[in-house]
Amino acid sequence: MTENFWQGKRVVVTGGAGFLGSFVTEKLNKRGVTDIFIPRIENYNLTDRDDIKRVLDDALQGNFDPANLVIIHLAANVGGIGANREHPAEFFYDNLMMGVELMHQSWKRGVGKFTAIGTVCAYPKFTPVPFKEEDLWIGYPEETNAPYGLAKKMMLVQSEAYRQQYGFNSIFILPVNLYGPRDNFNLQTSHVIPALIRKAIEAGERGDKELVVWGDGSPTREFLYVEDAAEGILTATEKYNSSDPVNLGSGYEISIKDLAEMIVRQTGYQGKLVWDTEKPNGQPRRGLDVSRARERFGWSAQVSFEEGMQRTIDWFKANRDKIR
């Protein structure tokens, strides 16, 4: 069934040159998909309607049947807590415009399948753990990333509305925080895992006695290895045809304190951790109920956290000279 799904398909992967996108395109290649179009940021501004129309014009060249076009929308303007606090308006506008207009124009052109990627930041601040998809609307998201989370969540509303009114086949996938090789290790914009890996390795090389970490270490997070996420997105695209949102996660919840201690251990840093409690913690707990993905399209995460972390650390060490 899987192989048949991709036969004769052309696939647009927005954000295909990014962290998650690079793994999605690799996995598409392994599935035998050779007709992949990645609209790069230098050539297309996905917050601009005319550019979005141009993406679809270019994707449908040669009188290609739009019913055989698959769009996987990964592109997003993202960052950690610091970036979200400094640029809430940009994060709201860019992500909203990209998603809403791309899905709208895709429906107008008769695109066969649209996979929208949401974010765990869409969940309310005090969602009971583990987060169940039906709890998405029980409150307002955590303030530091609410503009981003809500902008992405509008694609869920749009997916449901366009399916109901037009029969448009779009799905909405909610991955938890991702990590892995090729992640963003830039300390200004990176998320917690790559930031801590880089800080621990560099602090160790300098012989620093202390490593400062934001918050108090109490919040919990769940992380999903990037290759598992890519596999989940493609499996859903192949097998899932409903606008009910679906979580993608590992089902493994870890405190930031335990995470930091694990990174210290795996990187060999010898100093001690110091918690900067003046800095925000973000959402208190985050862990997903991942049963719907298993039930609806037979996907579950395969890579253990310890193994995924070691692969990520090894990749960073091997590729440091290329990282800004």
Q: What is the CATH number of the domain that holds 95?
A: 3.40.50.720
How many CB atoms are closer than 10 A to CB 297?
18
Residue 213 belongs to some domain of the structure: no
* Full domain range(s) for residue 230: 2-179+223-251+287-303
pLDDT in 10s for each residue of the chain, 324 residues: 455 999 999 999 999 999 999 999 999 999 999 999 999 999 999 999 999 999 999 999 999 999 999 999 999 987 767 777 898 999 999 999 999 999 999 999 999 999 999 999 999 988 999 999 999 999 999 898 899 999 999 999 999 999 999 999 999 999 999 999 999 999 887 888 999 999 999 999 999 999 999 899 999 999 999 999 999 999 999 999 999 999 999 999 999 999 999 999 999 999 999 999 998 887 788 899 999 999 999 999 999 999 999 999 999 999 998 887
Q: Which residues pair with 178 in a beta bridge?
A: 224
For residue 279, the 8-state DSSP code is S
Residue 83 belongs to some domain of the structure: yes
Residue 229 belongs to some domain of the structure: yes
Residue 273 belongs to some domain of the structure: no
Cβ-in-10-Å burial (0-12, 13-18, 19+) of 40 comes to exposed
Residue 308 belongs to some domain of the structure: no
Active site residue 93: no
pTM of the model: 0.94
CA quadruple 303, 304, 306, 307: dihedral, nearest 10: -30
**Strand 210-214 relative to strand 272-276: parallel, antiparallel, unpaired?**
parallel
Cβ-in-10-Å burial (0-12, 13-18, 19+) of 205 comes to exposed
Count of structural domains, the chain: 1
Residue 198 belongs to some domain of the structure: no
Which of the following is catalytic: 93, 123, 140, 148?
148
Residue 195 belongs to some domain of the structure: no
Would you say the C-alpha torsion 179, 40, 170, 62 has a positive or negative sign? negative
Residue 276 belongs to some domain of the structure: no
